[in-house]
Structure 1
Amino acid sequence: MQTAFIQGMGIGGSLIMAVGAQNAFVLKQGLKRSHSLPIAAICSFIDAIMITAGVAGLGHLIMAFPLIKDIASFGGALFLLIYGYGALKSSFSDNRMDSDGELAADSLKKAVLTTLAISLLNPHLYLDTVVLLGSISVQFEGAEKQWFGAGAVLASFVWFFSLSLGAKYLSPIFKKPKAWCYLDRFICVTMWSIAAALVYPYLA
């Protein structure tokens, strides 16, 4: 059981920590201290649900209906293009630091909806958690399979809350407007790159 739990943490953590739209968004909200804990909780709980579903065998259902992946790919690509454009536009603004506190008080709904969209419209979420982790979990049986899933779920919670809470230690760097500019442009490139990767298989 201990081996299965450790493997779940290691494999789950390696998939979750890869640079992506979700991590970039969590990092930025953590730096702004704008609803960072609710966002980390939402990301973690979504992962927990998907990992549990994958271990339970839902991955076979997704593979049997590729239309699910197609819809998520195009919907996710469109959202990431729009969000990336917003980040690029924001990179040319000079007053983000002064308005962060005010925005944090008024934009919880927007932050939650954006988190849900970035998470649920990304087909890699389903492929990594439901399909891939679900496929790996078949090597375990009974309680060991549950412990494998628990390890992957714990890795998700540890990562997202560490990323969200640890962002504050980078805040001195982001007192400079230029740092926010570079971060926004990095987020733009990340979002657009993922969007391109989502639609490329359909164009090739």
Structure 2
Amino acid sequence: MEPFFHGLLLALGLILPLGVQNVFIFNQGAIQPSFKKAWPAALTAAICDTALILLAVLGVSVIVMQYDWLRLAMLIIGVLFLTYMGFQTWFAKSNIQSDNQALQMTVRKQVVFTLSVSLLNPHAILDTIGVIGSVSLIYEGVNKVIFTLTCILVSWCWFHGLCVTGRMIRRLDTTGRFLDLLNKVSAIIIWITALYMGKAII
């Protein structure tokens, strides 16, 4: 049971801090008219985390991160995209009374943005490669499989749980003021992340 609890606590510790990915998934759960409409964001985030965790455990990602030009390209693309999405989020309007207004982000946009904050996010990559990948080295065979699957399970439960929580907040907030405020907070967090990534480029 050690690899299970180890994976559980480690994955929770890495995924709990407030960041662009978490805020975005929560936000989609809150502003979309149904869970089905917000599900693409949660599903994409979970799949991306699964891929990163598997790559980290298998050691493939360690090889990729040895190329400085690839890391630099990821950072530049990430900064530009996050800056753009920050403005999109800041000026987005939430109207609880109108499902048409709530459909601010299409499935395609949800997937693209989730991919960007998941795969172009240095924190996510470092968490999986530097932490989960490194820790997995202490396990072998079945224990490594249990550790890896536990980390993946935490990710899937967390992102879908965020989406459901967003839906609950939507029902409580009948005026839409909280969601408008959440958009502003989300935009600020996105811009801060973009600045932090930009600092890594210099």
Q: Structure 1 length normalisation: TM-score?
A: 0.88
1:103 deviation in Å?
A: 5.3
1:141 deviation in Å?
A: 1.7
CA distance in 1, matches of 2:168, 2:177: 17
Moved more, 7-16 or 105-114: 105-114
Matched-pair identity in %: 26
- Match of 1:166? 165
Q: 1:57 to 1:77 in 2, by over 3 A?
A: same
CA distance in 2, matches of 1:89, 1:105: 11
Contact 2:31/2:102, CA 8 A, preserved across alignment:
no
Structure 1 residue runs of 4+, over 6 Å off?
Answer: none
CA distance in 1, matches of 2:86, 2:142: 43
Cα distance per residue 1:158-188 (max 9 Å; x no partner): 1001111122221244322321221111001
- Match of 2:120? 121
CA distance in 1, matches of 2:119, 2:171: 32
Q: 1:88 to 1:33 in 2, by over 3 A?
A: closer
CA distance in 2, matches of 1:96, 1:122: 30
Which of 62, 79, 82 matches 2:81? Answer: 79
Q: Structure 2 length normalisation: TM-score?
A: 0.88
Cα distance per residue 1:63-93 (max 9 Å; x no partner): 3213222111111111111111112222xx4
Contact 1:59/1:131, CA 8 A, preserved across alignment:
no
1:142 deviation in Å?
A: 1.9
Cα distance per residue 1:36-72 (max 9 Å; x no partner): 2222111111111110111111232133213222111
Contact 1:44/1:156, CA 8 A, preserved across alignment:
yes
* Aligned partner of residue 96 in structure 2, secondary structure: helix
1:124 deviation in Å?
A: 2.1
- Match of 2:130? 131
Contact 1:76/1:123, CA 8 A, preserved across alignment:
no
User: Could you list the runs of 5+ residues in structure 2 that have no partner in the other structure?
Assistant: none
Contact 2:76/2:201, CA 8 A, preserved across alignment:
no
Query: Given residue 9 of structure 1, which amino acid in structure 2 is its aligned partner?
Result: L
Query: Given residue 19 of structure 1, which amino acid in structure 2 is its aligned partner?
Result: L
Query: Given residue 198 of structure 1, which amino acid in structure 2 is its aligned partner?
Result: M
CA distance in 1, matches of 2:8, 2:16: 12
User: Could you list the runs of 5+ residues in structure 1 that have no partner in the other structure?
Assistant: none
CA distance in 1, matches of 2:147, 2:105: 39
CA distance in 2, matches of 1:155, 1:30: 18
Q: 1:131 to 1:85 in 2, by over 3 A?
A: same
Task: Calculate the aligned-residue CA RMSD, in Å.
Answer: 2.1
CA distance in 2, matches of 1:69, 1:140: 28
CA distance in 2, matches of 1:69, 1:132: 18
* Aligned partner of residue 82 in structure 1, secondary structure: helix
